[in-house]
A and B are shown apart, each in its own frame.
Chain A
Amino acid sequence: MSAPVIDPVRPAAPDTPAGRTSKAQRTTPARFDTALGWNDRPGLAWALRILLCLIALAVFAAPFLTIFSGAFTTNPSGSSLSFLPHDSTLLNFRVAGERGIWDYLGNSLVIAGGGLLLQLVVCTLAAYALARHRFRGQALIMMLFMMTLMLPEEVIAIPLSLVLGDVPVVHLDLKGTVWGVILPLGAWGFSVMMLTEFMRDIPAEIEEAARLDGVGELRMLWQIILPLCRPALGVAGVLGFIMIWDQYLLPLIASKDPTDYTVTVALSILRTDPEVGSGVVLAGAVIALIPSLIVYLLLQRSLVTGIAAGATKG
């Protein structure tokens, strides 16, 4: 398994700076750039492509506008739910606030922050051992981490909820605490494998030179290996955040009562509350959406690279 870090955005051909050079100067015509041979000259195919792009935009992105417009509309139901708000209001957010949405968001942020930190530390340490050391049982350990991917929360939900209520040996009850969500997220096989492959590609000479200078294991990882891993850490970070933010079943089974819910799980409380309308639910959805939106827009390059490359390991 080599590390196929493929950037899906092919680097621009050197002969087409920003695609503005005249067609005559290109060595390969535009129609050889894409599988379908799209032409960048206005014409029938060009118009068709624009039309299809607009449809794709309407199908996949426009619904997000309805979340925002609905959240700012007093009482959206059915027809008043449209792409643009009619009467802007913050009432929905105030009602959602009264139902404790900010506390839920607080839970989510603590879990996402703590979970991500733990995940990055744990997975980096494991990856360092797997990539830069040789020891007996290495292949077996690698397989164990790979197997964690095959045991998602869905499959082990029922026994996991028992374990969270009474952790073996130490007999702690993690239910109702953020640790009940954070700790199970720590060992994520995906991050371990991605970081391992990245660290393996770091030349051994760098490590040997540092060893001659008497650098110990921890300093080696912290000062030599990690700075070289920044791109991979970015990928692990953004994918980890999206994965943690998307958790649904885990916060559900790790909670003791509804105040322990994360903001995404709490949306169902708002929905089943007969006293609040769909506008409040949408306000909650906006609040649950914005952190992942920010992370995505800031770090989308890492995210896309990670999915394209890491997908090979599932």
Chain B
Amino acid sequence: MTATVPAPGAREGTGRRAFDKKAVVPWLFLAPGLLLALVFKFWPMAKGIWLSFFDVRPFLGDKWTGLENYSRVLTDHRFQDAIGHTLILGIGQSVGAILLGFALALLLEGQARSLKFLRTAVFLPAVTATAVVGELWRLMYYPTSDGLLNSGLHFFGVGTVQFLDNPGIALYSTMVMGIWIWAPYNMVIFLAGLAGVDRSLYEAAAMDGVSLWQRLRFVTLPAIRPALMIVLTLATIRGLRVFTEVYVLTGGGPAGSTDVWMTRAYTLGFSRNDIGGASAASVVLLCVTLLLTVLVNHLRKRGEAR
């Protein structure tokens, strides 16, 4: 922080007025940002919390119903299913993307030109709009025997798989796409972590005659711990509020088998016009996200203190 801002009222005579002017300046610079954040972030949040206690009726006026929306959402079996799907998808996707991202980082670490080219190419999924990725995977998952992935499976003697139409498989198909999107993103963070590892440690480890596994476990892994924590935090929060991936790939179907918390809330709010219920669902998600963020930050701080 800059500690050298001239003391208020440097010129004695006009001290009082100069001080006022000085105090106003930063707020003028902050005004546009604060205004936009207030109107389009915090006001909707407050409104969402407010509406979650009402039965919202467009022309009849809203009716206070207390916690009724919450109890309705939390006891709705489709929302309960959605919790399970969100957890399976979030955890599976995060773990998969972290492991694969780490593997990619280990594979593509280095200075050679060819490796830079490879990193550029592999990172493509992370910069592509999710909607485009969704269309791409819909076609890769084409459910006939001549679909791209299915013809590949045929080569290995596996029958045709209905990737997105089979309720038992669709969630895992979504998960694979999520891993595909986020593994390259994690790779970049891991590569940054790996670049910071002291090379002389590797040399010292070699002199001590440790195996490759031991070197990874006791030299590399502790050094990239911060990167790992970042990736984990991001993945947790991302996993909870997953929406676009599911919406563009399956839309929650078939038979609600890929419905996650946010797609459920979206359907409730926009298709069934149950604004109160959808708001309650959003508030629940917000609370869980806040709680998890605080928890992860706490763990992170404790980890750093050690």
DSSP majority for the A interface? helix
Are A304 and B188 closer than 8 Å at their CB atoms?
yes
Q: Does B127 contact A (CB under 8 A)?
A: yes
Q: Does B144 contact A (CB under 8 A)?
A: yes
Task: With both chains docked as a complex, state the minimum distance between the C-beta of A163 and any C-beta of chain B, in angstroms.
Answer: 5
Chain B residue nearest to A304 (CB atoms) is B188
CB-based A-B contact count at 8 angstroms: 332
Q: Does B18 contact A (CB under 8 A)?
A: no
Binary interface encoding of chain B residues 267-306 relative to chain A, with 1 for a CB under 8 A from any of its CBs, else 0: 0011000010011001001100110010000000000000
Are B45 and A157 closer than 8 Å at their CB atoms?
no
A267-314 residues with Cβ-Cβ distance < 8 A to B are 267-268, 271, 278, 281-282, 284-285, 288-289, 292-293, 296-297, 300, 303-304, 307-309, 311-312, 314
Count, chain A residues at interface, CB 8 A: 116
DSSP majority for the B interface? helix
Instruction: Kindly name the residue among B2, B112, B285 whose own CB sees the greatest number of chain A CB atoms within 10 A.
Output: B2
User: How distant is the Cα of A261 from the Cα of B1 in the complex, in angstroms?
Assistant: 43
Chain A residue nearest to B50 (CB atoms) is A159
Q: Which of A10, A76, A80, A156 contacts B282 (CB 8 A)?
A: A156
Q: Which residues of A contact B116 (CB under 8 A)?
A: 9
Task: With both chains docked as a complex, state the minimum distance between the C-beta of A92 and any C-beta of chain B, in angstroms.
Answer: 13
Q: Does A47 contact B (CB under 8 A)?
A: no
User: How distant is the Cα of A285 from the Cα of B248 in the complex, in angstroms?
Assistant: 13
Are A144 and B25 closer than 8 Å at their CB atoms?
no
Q: Does B40 contact A (CB under 8 A)?
A: yes
Chain B residue nearest to A170 (CB atoms) is B39
Q: Does B79 contact A (CB under 8 A)?
A: no
Q: Does A129 contact B (CB under 8 A)?
A: yes
Q: Which residues of B contact A134 (CB under 8 A)?
A: 1-3, 5
Q: Which of B26, B40, B185 contacts A135 (CB 8 A)?
A: B26
Q: Which residues of B contact A135 (CB under 8 A)?
A: 23, 26-27
Q: With A163-B44, A184-B36, A282-B139 as given contacts, are A28 and B203 in contact (CB-CB < 8 Å)?
A: yes
Q: Does B209 contact A (CB under 8 A)?
A: no
User: How distant is the Cα of A300 from the Cα of B121 in the complex, in angstroms?
Assistant: 11
Are B30 and A168 closer than 8 Å at their CB atoms?
no
Q: Does B234 contact A (CB under 8 A)?
A: yes
Q: Which residues of A contact B184 (CB under 8 A)?
A: 60
Residues of chain A whose beta carbon lies under 8 Å from any beta carbon of chain B: 6-10, 12-13, 16, 19, 28, 31-38, 40, 49, 52-53, 56-57, 59-61, 63-64, 66-67, 70, 76-82, 121-123, 125-126, 128-136, 141, 144-145, 147-148, 150-152, 154-163, 167-168, 183-184, 186-187, 192, 200, 204, 207-208, 211, 217, 221, 242, 245-246, 248-249, 253, 264-265, 267-268, 271, 278, 281-282, 284-285, 288-289, 292-293, 296-297, 300, 303-304, 307-309, 311-312, 314
Residues of chain B whose beta carbon lies under 8 Å from any beta carbon of chain A: 1-6, 23, 25-30, 32-34, 36-37, 39-45, 47-48, 51, 104, 106-112, 116, 118, 120-125, 127-132, 134-136, 138-140, 142, 144-148, 150-151, 180, 183-185, 188-189, 191-192, 194-197, 199, 202-203, 206, 212, 215-216, 219-220, 230-231, 233-234, 237, 241, 243-244, 247-248, 262, 265-266, 269-270, 275, 278-279, 282, 285-286, 289-290, 293
List 28 A-B pairs, Cβ < 8 Å: A33-B110, A35-B219, A57-B118, A60-B122, A82-B148, A125-B32, A129-B29, A145-B37, A148-B41, A155-B241, A156-B41, A156-B48, A160-B44, A163-B40, A187-B36, A248-B130, A264-B132, A281-B135, A285-B132, A289-B129, A292-B128, A293-B124, A296-B127, A308-B191, A309-B192, A311-B234, A312-B230, A314-B237
